[in-house]
Amino acid sequence: MTAKKTKERPEFIEALSRAYQLRRKNIVMLTGDTHGLFWNQNKESFSAFEMTLVDYLREKFNVVRMDIAGGISFPDKPTEMEVIRICESKDGVVVPKDRRDQMSRLIDSSRHSPLPALVLLRGMQEAFCRVRKVESHIKPLCVLFQYAGALFPTGDFGRLGDLDRQRLVVFLSWVNHPNFTHSPDLLVLANDVKSEINHKINALPHCTHYEIQLPDKNDREAFVNWFNGEGPKIRFKNGKGRYIENTAGLKLTHLKDMLEEARRTSTAITKELVVSQVNEILQAELGDIIRVKYPAHTSKDIIGYKETGAIFKSIFERCEDVDTAVSAILVSGPNGAGKTYQLEAYAAESGRVVIELAGIRGSFFGETDRFFELLRWHISTFGKILILVDEAHTAFGSVHSGGTHQTEMRLSGNIIKMMGNPQNLGKVLWGMMTSRPDELDPDIKSRAPIQVPIFDLEGETREAFVKEMFKRKSINLGKSIEEIVEETDYYSARDYRNLVAEVMAQRRKKPEITVLDVLSGWYASKSIKTQREYQSLIAALHCSYPKLLPERLRAMSDVEINKQIEELKWYLSRS
C-alpha cells in the first residue's frame, strides 16, 4: 500500500463534514489523536492534526485559531485581512487604517487573556452575521479552539474558579444566541480527552463529539510505505509486516521518530525497540499502572498442569468466535502458584497482546474519568488482547461498599461497563488474577462465567514437577526426590524456583553439594503457609471445573470447606 492509496480524507474530516452538513451541528468536539499525523491531500504528504484540519477547512471557511495562551491567530495573512474587512469595513471594501490598527491591537491583546479573546470572537461572529445579510457569498467563520479543556475545564459552576466560570458563561451565552445557532458558522473544540471539557458544552443540542482513533494497521502501513518512499529504505529486523503489527497503540508521530532514528543511524528496527516505545508512550499517558507485554514463554515452559492448560487453550479458542466468547475469566489460587505465568503463556500462543494493569486504585485519584477514557481509547487500537489484572481484589473498589470513595466507585463502574460491552466480545478478554476472589466485587465476578483455580501440585505430579524443574538446570536428583518433596511439602511453584536458584548459587562455590545439603541450611519461609492454605480453600469455592480440585478438596463438601475457612479466618485474625 502506498500513501496514494490511503483514504482521500482522514475519517475525522469526514465525520466533521457529516455532522455539519447533514446533522446541522455547528459545535464539534474533536478528541483522541489530536497530536498525530494524518494524510493531507492538499500537500500530498502526512501533516500534523491542526495543519491537516485547517487545510481542509480553509476551502469553505475563514478559519480563526484560539487557545488559552496564544490568544487569537490566523493561518495566513489573507484570512486575517478578510476577517478584519468583514468586522471593520463600512462599505464592504475599504477598512480605514485607524480601525484596522485598532482591530489588530485587540487581537494582539488577546494573548494570555482568554476572556477578552472570547468576547472579541463573539463580536467577530456577530459581524459575520451582519455582513452576511448583504454579502451572502462570504465564507462562514470557523473558530478552532485548541486545548479546549484548559479553556473550559470540567466542573459545575459552584466548583469552578471565577475566571473559568466567566469564560464558560460567556461561551454558553454566545453559542445559545440565535445569531450563532441559526448561522452557518462553526466552532471546533480540540482536546486530548472529552472528560476534560465542561459537560455543559457537550450537552448542547447543536454540539456533537467525535473521537479520533489511533492509526489502525492500514494507516500505519500507508505511513511506513510513504516514509520509505521519501528517502533511503528502512531495515526491519523482524520484517516490515511484524513492525506494523507491533506498533499498534502508537501515533504516527511515534513511528516517525523511530523511522527517522533508524534512517540516520542506518540500524535495523527491532521488536525490543518497538515494545519499549509502546510501553514508554502508554506509561507517559497512563502512568506506571499499564504495561504492554509480549510474553516470551509458552505452554512448553509450563511443567505439569495439563488439565488447566487444556482449559486455558479452550478459553482462547472459544474467544475467537463472538457467539462463544466470554468477556472475563477469574483465575484464583494461593500466592506463588503460577497464575500469571500460565495465563500469559497461553495468551502468547493464541496471538493476543497482553496488557497488564496494576495499582489502578488510587493511582489516578481525581483523574478517574480521564484515565478511563484514555484506557478505553488505547485498548480500541490493539487487535485481540488479554487485559491482565493482578491481585484484582485490590485493584478496584466495590460499587456496593459504603466505604468506597465515589471516585473509585466510578472507576469500578466504568471497568464493569467495559467488561460487559458486547462490542468487545472476542476482541478483549479480561484475566482477573487474585488470591482472594471472595473480596472481588460481585458485579465483576458475575462478568467471569469461567473461574479457574490453580493449586499446588500434589502426589506424583508434584514429584514430576520438582524433577523437571531441576532437570532443566542439569541437576539430577536421583533417589532423593521423595525426601526432597517431603521436606518441601509446603512449597509453592515460586518457592521451588527460588530453591533451584539457591542450589545453583551454592554449587558455584561447592560443585558437589546436593539439594538435600542445601535444604539442611536453607528453606523457603513458612510465614505465609497458613495464609496459602486459607487462599486455597477460598479458591476451591471459585471453581468452574471440579476436576481441577486436589483430591483432598474434591472429597470435601462446600459446608466443610466453609467451616475450615471460618476457622482459619479466626486463627489468622488473632495471629
CATH number of this structure's domain 293-453: 3.40.50.300
Whether 509 and 528 have beta carbons less than 8 Å apart is answered as no
Q: CATH for 3-212, among 3.40.50, 3.40.720, 2.40.128, 3.30.1380?
A: 3.40.50
State whether CATH 1.10.8 applies to domain 217-286.
yes
Nearest Cα neighbor of 538 from 332, 238, 366 is: 332
**Degrees to nearest 5, angle at CA 560 with 556 and 563:** 150
pLDDT for 1 equals 40
Q: How far apart are CA 527 and CA 532, in angstroms?
A: 10
Q: Where are the domains of the chain?
A: 3-212, 217-286, 293-453, 455-575
Q: How far apart are CA 50 and CA 145, in angstroms?
A: 10
Q: What is the 3-state secondary structure (H, E, C) of 52-71?
A: HHHHHHCCCCEEEEEECCCE
pLDDT for 270 equals 86
Do the domains spanning 3-212 and 217-286 agree at the CATH topology level?
A: no
How many CA atoms are closer than 13 Å to the CA of 574, on its beta-carbon side?
6
Nearest Cα neighbor of 154 from 144, 164, 143 is: 164
Q: How far apart are CA 59 and CA 296, in angstroms?
A: 52
One-letter identity of residue 222: A
Q: How far apart are CA 431 and CA 445, in angstroms?
A: 11
pLDDT for 377 equals 81
Nearest Cα neighbor of 519 from 493, 467, 480, 492 is: 480
Q: pLDDT means per 10 residues in the chain (575 residues)?
A: 58 94 93 93 91 94 93 93 87 75 86 91 93 90 96 91 94 95 96 92 95 91 88 85 86 91 89 80 73 84 92 92 92 91 88 77 56 78 82 68 60 78 87 90 87 92 92 88 92 93 93 92 91 93 92 91 92 83
